[in-house]
Amino acid sequence: MVFIHEMLAKAAEKYPQKKAFICNQNSFTFSEIDEISTGVAHFLKQQGVKKGERIGIFSVKNIQEIIALFAIIKLGCVFVHINPHFKEDQLYHVISDCNIRNLFIHESKAKAITRTGLDKNFFHLIISLSSGSSLESRYNNVHYLDSITKESSPLPGLYGEINEYDPASIIYTSGSTGKPKGIIVTHRIFHDATVISAEALENNSEDRLISVTPFSFDGALSQLFTSIYAGGTLVLQESSFPKDIVDTMVKEKITGFHAVPSYWRMLLQRHSPLEKYDYPHLRYVSIIGEVFPRDDLMKLKAILKHTRFYMMYGITEAFRSTFLHPDDFDRKHPSAGKPFPGVEIKIIDDRGKECKAGEVGEIVHKGVFVSPGYWNNPEKTREVFKDGMVYTGDLGKMDEEGYIYFTGRKDVMLKSMGYRISPEEIEECLCSIPGVSEAAVCSVSGKENGNRIKAIIVCKENVLLTEKDIVNYCKAKLPYYMVPALCEFRSSLAKTGTFKINRSQLKQEAKGV
């Protein structure tokens, strides 16, 4: 098996002077990243960092965090890329949960670390990814990546003891309830996901991929590693303003773009310049993470008329599960496709029996990509990981040809008038209303009326809709038990760090109604 850091070394040997990463005006070649990260790994070793230690990365998007990531892997340590959108409570939980004593950090995140209240002697080592750091006045043993790269010399002998089943990373995800859970990802999972994904997407050395989500997100890591494996160029997108993203797509002649539907819908907003340009270089987009309302998806396809669309399904616990090949899109959408090579998908009912074609049940993933479990959480591991399979908590169905259809989450299902309802089904209807930009639904309860469905609506600019407009439209399109009883209009919806609807926050807000 070829480890991820060995893929980088091979790319450095084959394309030594090729730009591997671009961020704003900065760029690094494959050979530079390989050499510098090896030097940083030696510095960590000299500082007494041992194989298997969890090392944190807390940063905005930049090339320096990629150097840190590869230095950590080369030493046989475990990188924990902390979601840059996490606040102090979540940050404290992650650091405490996996005992992060060594941390790479960008100066923009210094205040968040300070607000955790961690003692000045808590960290053994802090490495600033910026040229200066306010953390020197707060914590001991603060170093600077720039200085380390100038002083360290790359020497051989770092990787000998690494095993393919050793943890390479712990990815923390926010669930619908509770604190973020740490999902263990092994070197073998990264290898398999990289090779299989690159083959499915036909990645090659001519690719110029845009990276828009944090590396705390498994999709961003997959894109990072497939780009290296293929010998392509990864362009890091720091700004999330539609104009800046479109500028990058055009200027850098982007060939591949991976994002969740909410991100694409942001690019479809009225003032976005996405429609003003042609994108002849954009070979493919891959879309994963949530339901994409059909009207918006068709609008995006009309704009990106030269582009092939890969619709995917997966959870971090199993990295990737299925993909719909572009050739099958017209015939099979809204299917999430068939399993990746090496993956077996089953649909299981409440009794643990396999569902018939067309029946809705829980999606169960077996085969490659399956995590060993949750870090420091054996009870949750036993609940989700059974007999080499991941019980995803997602609901879906399979047709007679073996194509998978995602229908919703078990833990966010709504209850109304005795029916269990998928919120995505109602939200897709709401988003088809002329003048609606975004929508989400939640369940609110009261002593007199029981559980009722509440719609939260974001209107397009200069559009004024009423609760009556929303309810009447839904009555014409949905069964009576799915029609919202309440409507609230907002200027925006709360999102997670990966631009998905923050259903956990919606649930908490609903409790206060």
pLDDT of residue 174: 66
User: Is residue 510 classed as helix, strand or coil in its secondary structure?
Assistant: helix
Q: Is 133 exposed, middle or buried (0-12, 13-18, 19+ CB in 10 A)?
A: buried
Query: In the beta sheet, which residues pair with residue 233?
Result: 208
Distance from C-alpha of 239 to C-alpha of 245, rounded to nearest angstrom: 7
Let me know if residue 164 belongs to a domain.
yes
Q: Is 494 exposed, middle or buried (0-12, 13-18, 19+ CB in 10 A)?
A: middle
Which of 184, 215, 243 is the endpoint of a domain? 184
Residue 308, H or E segment: strand 308-313
pLDDT of residue 226: 98
243-261 confidence digits (pLDDT tens): 999 999 999 999 999 998 8
Read off the CATH number of the domain in which 436 is found: 3.30.300.30
Read off the CATH number of the domain in which 163 is found: 3.40.50.980
Distance from C-alpha of 441 to C-alpha of 503, rounded to nearest angstrom: 9
User: Is residue 455 classed as helix, strand or coil in its secondary structure?
Assistant: strand
Quickly list DSSP for 28-77. Answer: EEHHHHHHHHHHHHHHHHHTT--TT-EEEEE-SS-HHHHHHHHHHHHTT-
Which of 158, 184, 210 is the endpoint of a domain? 184
pLDDT of residue 177: 46
Q: Specify the residue for token string 């997959």.
A: 222
Task: Find the mean pLDDT for residues 119-126.
Answer: 92
Let me know if residue 50 belongs to a domain.
yes
pLDDT of residue 512: 54
Task: Find the mean pLDDT for residues 74-96.
Answer: 92
Let me know if residue 65 belongs to a domain.
yes
- Spatial contact of 149 and 36, defined as CB atoms under 8 Å apart: yes
Residue 243, H or E segment: helix 242-251
Short-list 378, 488, 366, 371, CA closest to 430: 488
Let me know if residue 41 belongs to a domain.
yes
Distance from C-alpha of 246 to C-alpha of 240, rounded to nearest angstrom: 10
User: Is residue 408 classed as helix, strand or coil in its secondary structure?
Assistant: strand
- List the domain range (segments joined by +) for residue 131: 28-184
375-425 confidence digits (pLDDT tens): 999 999 999 999 999 999 999 999 999 999 998 878 777 877 766 687 888
Q: Residue 158 — very low, low, confident or very high, per pLDDT cuts 50/70/90?
A: low
What contacts 249, CB < 8 A, 6 or more positions away?
210, 257, 277, 279, 282
**Average pLDDT of every residue of the chain:** 91
Which of 136, 160, 184 is the endpoint of a domain? 184
Distance from C-alpha of 373 to C-alpha of 391, rounded to nearest angstrom: 12
pLDDT of residue 451: 75
282-331 confidence digits (pLDDT tens): 999 999 977 788 888 999 999 999 999 999 999 999 989 999 999 999 99
Task: Find the mean pLDDT for residues 122-131.
Answer: 94
- Check whether 106 has a pLDDT greater than 70: yes
Helix axes 467-477, 423-431, angle to 10 degrees: 110
Q: Is 83 exposed, middle or buried (0-12, 13-18, 19+ CB in 10 A)?
A: buried
Distance from C-alpha of 256 to C-alpha of 282, rounded to nearest angstrom: 6
pLDDT of residue 176: 45
Distance from C-alpha of 365 to C-alpha of 7, rounded to nearest angstrom: 27
433-483 confidence digits (pLDDT tens): 999 999 999 988 765 556 789 999 999 989 999 999 999 999 998 878 889
What contacts 207, CB < 8 A, 6 or more positions away?
227, 230, 232, 233, 255, 256, 283
pLDDT of residue 413: 76
What pTM did the predictor assign? Answer: 0.86
186-245 confidence digits (pLDDT tens): 999 999 999 999 999 999 999 999 999 999 999 999 999 999 999 999 999 999 899 999
Distances (CA, A) of 324 to 201, 308, 337, 346, 404: 11, 11, 4, 17, 9
Q: HSE of 210 in the Cβ direction (CA atoms, 13 Å)?
A: 28
Let me know if residue 102 belongs to a domain.
yes
Task: Find the mean pLDDT for residues 106-119.
Answer: 92
Q: At 187, list the tokens.
A: 């070197």
Domain count for the chain:
2
Distance from C-alpha of 112 to C-alpha of 81, rounded to nearest angstrom: 15
Backbone φ and ψ for 185, nearest 5 degrees, come out as -120, 120
Q: Residue 488 — very low, low, confident or very high, per pLDDT cuts 50/70/90?
A: very high
